[in-house]
Chains A and B, each alone.
Chain A
């Protein structure tokens, strides 16, 4: 694999005596759609927190576009193009939807000249009619869309979508999937963490499975569903 966009080089993360990530390595090419799955507590969100900079790692390196970002604070990584959305939406409650997008645009997005403005992003995501509402006036799915729209406003090269679809109806899942596909077509690399298998399997070109802090499988969606180790991780023996 030549020149990966993101290279995770055997990172380890401990919480006290608990080993959350055990020398996990992962390489992601530019433009890829990667699904990251695993049972609850397998380390998916911890991995994302380490990549985005919310948590420091105990060992290992993270390279983005060949640059070592392991010690960079989260906001610097965002400026470089690593942007994540949150599992539980964390909107800026005192600002309107449009102003919510203004923050990443001003602090990270404008560093990259090319990209959509706040209103264009809202139109693409289908939130333009709500631009001047406060987040408290949004529905659950609109809240998820705001989370994605705000991440978009940082003009990411790599977008990490952390369970953007949990709790949504099947039509709403399709809605979010369509948005993610469109973002990928625009050249944004996407890591999707999801429990809804139908969505991950349809979206991903490649799936990586974590279990108890270890990478236990990797392959195309078709390979993953037939993998006995994955079955064992999810269902037990």
Chain B
């Protein structure tokens, strides 16, 4: 698939999203669809660092919440509109990403992962103690009248369709560029990559920054979606687990893997929430992840590749 083809598919998906938005089906569909699409953004963003570069980030909640709380701050301070919130949330999280990029100078493998997890805990503590954005008791957003769309649910759903398409297109472009090849080399062997001329530090900083940016983008509309944000919901461990599980299930080496993983797992979780119980979510993730790690360590896309080669 050429770049122009991919762009066409992306535009078609957004068109489909708009059509679905116009249909006016059960509001719950938009509500659940938003979550699944949000996970497409999160899984794809996580995979730029975790899959392409091989640095496993356990601190997804930190980036997501930073996006959400940047929004809250800007709403509180400036009544900033949604596009500004998304861009700002992304940029602030990108800065945090740049920061963890410098961590990779000293920390590799599981030590990097532990540090990112710690980062999430530290950031949550800071937010809990910051009254301006609601502190421990949370922040309630009163949404203004909805522009252009029938309801906020439909607007946010359509917005997430667009954000997911943009994120996936960016990830795909990187994967197929010299940057993606360099990241794959440093994932396989960082010393060898450096000695073969790959500027490993610069590429890692790029990956952490970009990954952070889109994780922040995913979190920025969150206050509008839930209208009540508390630290424990924005820093939910689910984000850390899903961000890792979805690409693992789909396959981490290509852009398609996280998309498939997010759609499958995200949908399964939404269905389970409605039909069985909302607590079953994590159990599903856990069981599926264990199965995949044991039976198909390269995820679904890896499994298909293997079967085709036969």
Which residues of A are interface residues toward B (Cβ below 8 A)?
A: 52-54, 73-75, 78-79, 83-84, 86, 90-95, 99, 102-104, 106-109, 150, 153-154
Assess the A90–B192 pair: CB atoms within 8 A: yes
Asked whether A79 and B197 contact (CB < 8 A) given A90-B189, A92-B188, A94-B188, the answer is yes
How far, in whole Å, are A150 and B178 apart by their CA atoms in the complex?
A: 17
Contacts of A86 in B (CB 8 A): 191-192, 195
| B131 contacts A by Cβ under 8 Å | no
Assess the B196–A108 pair: CB atoms within 8 A: yes
| B184 contacts A by Cβ under 8 Å | yes
Residue A107 contacts which of B191, B198, B201 (CB distance < 8 angstroms)? B198
Assess the A78–B185 pair: CB atoms within 8 A: no
Whole-angstrom distance between the Cβ of A77 and the nearest chain B Cβ: 9
Contacts of B197 in A (CB 8 A): 75, 78-79, 103-104, 107-109, 154
Chain B interface residue count, CB cutoff 8 Å, equals 20
| B172 contacts A by Cβ under 8 Å | no
Whole-angstrom distance between the Cβ of B90 and the nearest chain A Cβ: 29
Q: Beyond the given A91-B188, A103-B196, please list 19 additional residue pairs across the A-B interface where CB-CB is below 8 A.
A: A73-B199, A75-B198, A75-B199, A75-B200, A78-B196, A79-B197, A90-B189, A90-B191, A91-B192, A94-B184, A94-B188, A95-B185, A95-B188, A103-B181, A103-B197, A104-B197, A107-B197, A109-B197, A154-B196
Assess the B181–A102 pair: CB atoms within 8 A: yes
What does the 1/0 interface line of B73-117 toward A look like (CB < 8 Å)?
Answer: 000000000000000000000000000000000000000000000
| B167 contacts A by Cβ under 8 Å | no
Residue A104 contacts which of B184, B188, B196 (CB distance < 8 angstroms)? B196
Name the residue in A53, A94, A153 with the highest tally of chain B Cβ atoms < 10 Å from its Cβ.
Answer: A94
Whole-angstrom distance between the Cβ of A15 and the nearest chain B Cβ: 17
Residue of A nearest to B189 (CB): A90
Chain B, range 179-215, C-beta contacts under 8 Å to A: 181-182, 184-185, 187-189, 191-201
Contacts of A108 in B (CB 8 A): 196-197
Asked whether A92 and B199 contact (CB < 8 A) given A74-B194, A106-B178, the answer is no
How far, in whole Å, are A104 and B198 apart by their CA atoms in the complex?
A: 8
How far, in whole Å, are A54 and B178 apart by their CA atoms in the complex?
A: 23
Whole-angstrom distance between the Cβ of B152 and the nearest chain A Cβ: 43
Asked whether A103 and B189 contact (CB < 8 A) given A94-B184, A94-B253, A95-B184, the answer is no
Assess the A94–B198 pair: CB atoms within 8 A: no
How far, in whole Å, are A86 and B189 apart by their CA atoms in the complex?
A: 12
Contacts of A90 in B (CB 8 A): 189, 191-192
Residue B196 contacts which of A73, A93, A150 (CB distance < 8 angstroms)? A150
A selection of 11 A-B contacts at a CB cut-off of 8 Å is A53-B195, A75-B194, A75-B195, A92-B185, A94-B184, A95-B184, A103-B196, A103-B198, A106-B181, A108-B197, A109-B197
Asked whether A73 and B201 contact (CB < 8 A) given A52-B195, A94-B253, A106-B178, the answer is yes
Residue of A nearest to B178 (CB): A106
Contacts of B191 in A (CB 8 A): 54, 86, 90
Assess the A103–B194 pair: CB atoms within 8 A: no
Residue of B nearest to A92 (CB): B188
Assess the B199–A84 pair: CB atoms within 8 A: no
Assess the B194–A73 pair: CB atoms within 8 A: yes
Assess the A103–B193 pair: CB atoms within 8 A: yes
How far, in whole Å, are A106 and B200 apart by their CA atoms in the complex?
A: 14
